[in-house]
Amino acid sequence: MSRTYEALKKAEAERLRAGQAGPRVDGRRAPAVPWEADGEAHIQYERIRVWVTNPTARATRVKTLMVVACHPESGTTTTATLLAASLAEGKRSRVLLVDANFRTPSLDLLFGVRNKTGLTDLLSGEGADDHGIQPTSRDNLFVLPTGRIATCPVDVFDREAIARFTEDLKSRFDFVVFDAAPVLDFPDACALAPYVDGTLLVVEADKTSVADAKKAKRELERAGACLIGVVLNRHREYTPRLFRGLLGRTN
């Protein structure tokens, strides 16, 4: 990893203080993601990757993973993106990063890809199997944007459609990472949770309350999620850490 991380870290800190995000397109702003995690941050993402991919850590191998937070702007997209990039580096795995956040989609802006077709079209059966899946500038990493936004986004996650979709992706990619909408604000993540192998809950340091984190954990597990860990994001050293027992026992 290059040493651009520190500069990007400072840039994001300035952006957060100013209440700004990345470039604005169609009324939306792209999140500022520190692509090149350096030093300690790189090690932490490698640890998350090892934990996620460790076949002895749990009964079921994790190939599909949802990353979700309690509330917006907690670093979910940053965590999902850098984890997906780390997975793509490991053993040259083919990784698909899916924008499942229909409330504030941003992966199309982040990667500079078209968002004419995407997840909505594949789940509705209006697109071919690979319709909307686009390569990125990073080897082995692909991205699927949201596509058109439905009037009621949660309805996109039809049970039979999402079950077929996730199983199909498992046959074509080594790992699939879903960037989901915040669980305490919208029902989307709970609708998706039963159909992925594992869920990572992102908790923002010094902002997300313990009560909210525990409530999110309960709601996800009630929906059928297999919660495999909690990521403490925007820690004082700006390094995400995985806390398996932070909110009590996880699977």
Residues 101-157 pLDDT 10s: 999 999 999 999 999 889 998 998 775 667 799 999 889 999 999 998 877 888 889
Contact 215, 71 (CB under 8 A): no
Q: What's this model's pTM, rounded to 2 decimal places?
A: 0.81
- Which is more confidently placed, 56 or 182? 182
As a whole number of angstroms, the distance between CA 68 and CA 193 comes to: 10
Q: How many CB atoms lie within 10 A of CB 234?
A: 22
Residues 6+ positions from 154 with CB-CB distance below 8 Å:
186, 187, 188, 191
Mean of the pLDDT values across residues 163-176? Answer: 95
Contact assessment for residue 199 and residue 58, using Cβ atoms and an 8 Å cutoff: no
Name the 3-class secondary structure at 41. Answer: helix
pLDDT given at position 129? 63
Radius of gyration of the chain (CA): 17
Confidence tier at 22 by pLDDT (50, 70, 90): very low
Domain 40-242 in CATH 3.40.50.300? The answer is yes
Task: Catalogue the long-range contacts made by 216-220 (C-beta closer than 8 Å, 24 or more residues apart).
Answer: 216/68, 216/69, 216/70, 216/183, 216/184, 217/247, 217/248, 217/250, 219/183, 219/184, 219/190, 220/68, 220/183, 220/189, 220/190, 220/193
Share of the chain above pLDDT 90, in %: 47
